[in-house]
Amino acid sequence: MKFLDEYRNGELAQQFAREIHRITTKPWNIMEICGGQTHAIVKFGIDELLPKKITLIHGPGCPVCVTPLEMIDKALEIAARPEVIFTSFGDMLRVPGSTTDLLSVKAGGGDVRIVYSPLDAVKFAEQNPAKEIVFFGVGFETTAPATALAIYQAAQKKLRNFSMLISHVLVPPAMEALLSSPNCRVQGFLAAGHVCAVMGYEEYFSIAKKYRVPIVVTGFEPLDILQGVLMTVQQLESGRAEVENQYSRAVRREGNQPAQDLIKKVFQVVPRKWRGVGEIPQSGLGLGDEYAAFDAEKKFGVADHHVEESADCQSGLVLQGQIKPHECPAFGEKCTPEHPLGATMVSSEGACAAYYRYRRMPDLIGAK
């Protein structure tokens, strides 16, 4: 596949790795805030190529696993209704709510369907006028243009049987929340490439300046991530704290204007609770008043549950780089991938889940 496979070249990856080894003189903590990047790091074993002085901290980059418990419980309640066809991206199906998950609701007779795109859900609504079609709109800014256009089209088609449960989250507020925590050890960021393809990277200049952290917009293939790490380390070693763009083949500074326009038209910024982190102000997107008719929360009157996060879960500390997953008392005991307590164990790429998989190889993850 062009513009993909060539960025997985082993020899060139080793070349980047050698350069990173050559220039690294001090220990550095670098965070990537994107599930896709975490996935690539784990899948290709990228951190194995890096010098031990560099610690990659996996940030809360998986919108699926930071979806708050309350939202999942609302999804489960709606999905169980007989008149509803509940559509969702595949990765949401196994995420546990307070008591169960969408897969179990499906097993219990709920009509839960995986779709590739929110446009598929709109198609279902047109094809099934007697049913209520609900789409679970999770994701970062990358996915918001897709859900925005789906709602816009549903409104154009005057569909009455379509609505969305919106739980979009925004990256820059999460970065600020992490960086403003007193014990935060993150010194540099790889910014999520596809989020920036949509939003541009204007917002990161003030963050880099305020917290004195280099931020490098980075892609998703091994060469991208290694170059992003290299550029971050170059900045750290020379005391710079700037915003740079490694993923320039897909990201422009101003981002995607038509996408941003439609997001502004359909959504409004709202406070959002992040599972395992807590509420971050102005960190979510919800439906604006013009499209309130498509808001599944209002349509189905799902009560605002208040759900307590597990007291044992320390994913917040993991995300800030304060502890490593195996240093959490619940790790591997009360909390495992089969019964996760927090966001970082829910996703298979979450920091805790990744550590769990490697628990029999402590030297590979520096856990000794």
Partner 1 sequence: MCLAIPGKIVSVSGNDPLERMGKIDFGGILKEASLAYVPDARVGDYVIVHVGFALSKVDKAEAKKVFEYLKRMGELGELEERRT
Partner 2 sequence: MSAQKPIEFSGACPIPISQYPQVLMAHGGGGRLMHQLIGKMFLAAFHNPLLDTQHDAAVAELTGKKIAFTTDSYVVRPMFFPGGDIGSMAVHGTVNDLAMAGARPLYLSSAFIIEEGLPMETLWKIVCSMRDAAKKCGVQIITGDTKVVDKGKGDGVFINTAGIGVIEHEQKIAPQNVRAGDAILVSGDVGRHGMAIMAVREGLEFESKIESDSAPVHEAVLKLLKAGIEIHCLRDLTRGGLTSALNEIAEAANRILLVEEKLIPVREDVHAACEILGLDPFQVACEGRFAAFVAAKDSKHALEILRADSSGTGACVIGKVTEERSADVFLKSAIGARRILDMASGEQLPRIC
DSSP state of 243: E
Q: Out of partner 1, partner 2, none, which partner does residue 42 contact, by CB within 5 to 8 A per kind?
A: partner 2
The residue among 89 and 331 lying less far from partner 1, judged by its C-beta, is: 89
End-to-end CA distance of the chain: 39
**Does residue 238 touch partner 1 according to CB under 8 A?**
no
Among 119, 155, 293, 307, binds partner 1 (CB under 8 A): 119
By CB under 8 A, what part of segment 178-237 binds partner 1?
192, 194-195, 197-198, 220, 223-224, 227
Q: How far is the CB of 36 from partner 1 (least distance, A)?
A: 3
**Is 159 among the residues that bind partner 1 (CB under 8 A)?**
no
Residue 145 near which of partner 2, partner 1, none (CB within 5-8 Å, type-dependent): partner 1
What gap in Å lies between CA 213 and CA 190, rounded to an integer? 11
User: Helices marked H in the chain — which ranges?
Assistant: 10-23, 35-44, 46-49, 63-66, 69-79, 102-107, 118-127, 144-156, 171-179, 193-199, 204-211, 222-237, 257-266, 296-299, 315-319, 343-346, 351-357
- How open is the CA angle 191-194-197, to the nearest 5 degrees? 100
In the numeric block, the tokens 């600020």 are attached to: 176
23 binds, among partner 1, partner 2, none (CB under 5 to 8 A by kind): none
Q: What is the footprint of partner 1 within residues 45-64 (CB under 8 A)?
A: 61-63
Contacts of 362-367 with C-beta under 8 Å, sequence gap 24+, read 364/48, 366/52, 366/55, 366/324, 367/324, 367/326
Residue 116 in the binding site for partner 1 (CB under 8 A):
yes
Smaller CB separation from partner 1, 137 or 342:
137
Residue type present at position 290: E
Which residues contribute to the site for partner 1 (CB under 8 A)? 1-4, 6-7, 12, 15-16, 19, 34-36, 39, 61-63, 89, 116-120, 139-143, 145-146, 149, 152-153, 171, 192, 194-195, 197-198, 220, 223-224, 227, 246, 248-252, 256, 258-259, 262
